[in-house]
Homo-oligomer: A and B are copies of this chain.
Amino acid sequence: MTESITAAMLVIGDEILSGRTQDTNLNYIAKFLGALGIDMREARVVPDVEKEIVDAVNALRARYTYVFTTGGIGPTHDDITADAIARAFGVGIDYHPEALALLAARYQPGEFNEMRKRMARIPDGASLIRNSASTAPGFQIGNVFVMAGVPMVMRAMMEDVAPRLKRGTVVTTATVSARIGEGRIAGPLAKIQAEYANVVIGSYPFYTPDGYGVQLVVRGRDAASVEAAAGAIEAAIAAEGASAERIFS
């Protein structure tokens, strides 16, 4: 693939690592960014421990165009992401006037307590990420986007984030599915991969009640090369006496 705009994701939360919660945010954000031509290159999951968050965000933000974090921006004691991000950037953190005004307007008199005010604590120099699903904002500092862990809220935040992102050439994908053992097609596949160096070919076996097969996924930024490689794969499958089917999703 040619040079591209890259991203990493940092999932923050004990509940993911304990198995209590199945993360779905990585998958959503990966696809969301894919549609903008941005490549997700790495993801990490860390617990609600400040040093772990600081170390991970600093490793990732130095390496990728963008970093997206989810989790830990609520009002409770275990929501430590904003403080950790401030520390990672070596900046202060304080109540953000706009965030404070947004939250104050949301609550009844007497309900906007100290813990809820915590949600207005934003690292110095950050800009807010507004969303339609919740009053509490996320924030952007440098190339790092800090968002809620609740999928509904994170998804709304991504709408506010999208216009801020540089876009790349969208990757074209062609998927060929065949009822053939992965190992039977592996040899020709390696030759096709070597021939088409500007695409990446992935091979994903599947097992269903009525038998097994493999999905061969060609990805690349040059649509003609993707199509040519997919055609070569179909020909190789036919040469093995099996039939191939294009999957459009």
A-side residues, CB < 8 A to B, are: 13-24, 26-28, 30-31, 34, 39-48, 52, 74-79, 111, 113-116, 118-119, 150, 152, 171, 181-187, 189-190, 193, 200-207, 217, 219
Contact = CB atoms under 8 A, between A and B. Distances in A.
Contacts of A118: 186
How many copies are assembled? 2
Interface of A is mostly: mixed
Given A42-B45, A43-B17, A152-B207, A26 B23 contact: yes
A202 B78 contact: yes
B52 A42 contact: yes
B45 A111 contact: no
A98 to B, nearest CB: 19
A153 to B, nearest CB: 9
Given A17-B42, A34-B18, A42-B44, A77 B189 contact: yes
Given A23-B23, A74-B205, A75-B183, 4 more contacts: A18-B31, A19-B28, A19-B31, A26-B45
16 contacts: A14-B200, A16-B43, A18-B40, A19-B28, A19-B34, A20-B217, A21-B204, A41-B47, A42-B46, A74-B183, A76-B185, A111-B184, A115-B187, A115-B190, A116-B186, A118-B186
